[in-house]
């Protein structure tokens, strides 16, 4: 459930040796986790696995193969190892006007929850688990930085676009450190406007 895994690897200030090490670290992490998979089911695109550097390309291919898709259904999405790509994916989902949904058996965390926000219409069945926590780069966590730090900018912009406010982003930073996860309550989900439709009761 690591929300941001050595995301600074894309920074131009890093040397070649450090960049190579970052790539090796991401590959090692991905080898220890499920990678993302998109599978069409009628008008739904089922999403499973860890969001990573290949997520956007895999999504674009899935949409090209299944142009009738209108909704992403997030099932088991433990998080993201590349937040930069994950935010790009979320913007693309919104650009396409797709909806997002979580089922009663869904469990999404961190970057998975961020992706859920991208839906124009966002729905949830009772029993779904939505988890959040602070992002981190090495030992540095987002919650450790002042609000004025430019590292927050992409997240703030994304959250404002998806929800109309950045309040949810600041909430995630304080909800739990990166080593843990905070499962959102029904009250919190309602407070931060994550859903556009009432919870579907079983």
pLDDT the model gives residue 147 = 95
pLDDT the model gives residue 125 = 98
Q: Is residue 199 part of a domain?
A: no
The CATH number of residue 65's host domain is 3.90.226
pLDDT the model gives residue 135 = 93
d(CA 118, CA 7): 21
Q: How many CB atoms lie within 10 A of CB 57?
A: 11
- In terms of residue numbers, what domain contains 41? 7-191
Q: Is residue 118 part of a domain?
A: yes
d(CA 10, CA 88): 14
Q: Is residue 197 part of a domain?
A: no
Give the chain's residues under pLDDT 70.
1-34
pLDDT the model gives residue 107 = 98
In this prediction the pTM is 0.85
Q: Is residue 202 part of a domain?
A: no
pLDDT the model gives residue 202 = 82
Contacts of 106 (CB under 8 A, 6+ apart): 73, 74, 75, 76, 125, 128, 129
pLDDT the model gives residue 119 = 98
pLDDT the model gives residue 2 = 38
pLDDT the model gives residue 94 = 98
Number of domains making up the chain: 1
């Amino acid at each position: 459930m690591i929300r941001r895994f050595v995301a600074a690897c894309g920074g131009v200030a890093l040397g070649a040796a450090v960049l190579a090490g970052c790539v090796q670290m991401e590959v090692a992490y991905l080898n220890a986790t499920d990678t993302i998979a998109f599978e069409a089911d009628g008008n739904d695109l089922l999403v499973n696995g860890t969001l990573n550097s290949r997520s956007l390309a895999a999504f674009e291919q899935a949409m090209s193969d299944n142009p009738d898709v209108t909704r992403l259904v997030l099932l088991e999405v433990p998080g993201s190892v590349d937040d930069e790509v994950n935010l790009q994916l979320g913007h693309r989902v919104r650009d396409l006007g797709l909806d997002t949904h979580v089922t009663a058996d869904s469990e999404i965390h961190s970057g998975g929850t961020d992706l859920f926000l991208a839906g124009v219409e966002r729905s949830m069945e009772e029993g779904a688990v939505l988890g959040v926590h602070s992002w981190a780069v090495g030992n540095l966590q987002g919650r450790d930085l002042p609000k004025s730090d430019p590292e927050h900018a992409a997240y703030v912009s994304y959250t404002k676009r998806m929800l109309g406010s950045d309040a949810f982003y600041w909430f995630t930073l304080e909800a739990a450190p990166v080593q843990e996860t905070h499962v959102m309550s029904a009250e919190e989900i309602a407070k931060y406007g994550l859903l556009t439709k009432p919870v579907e009761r079983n």
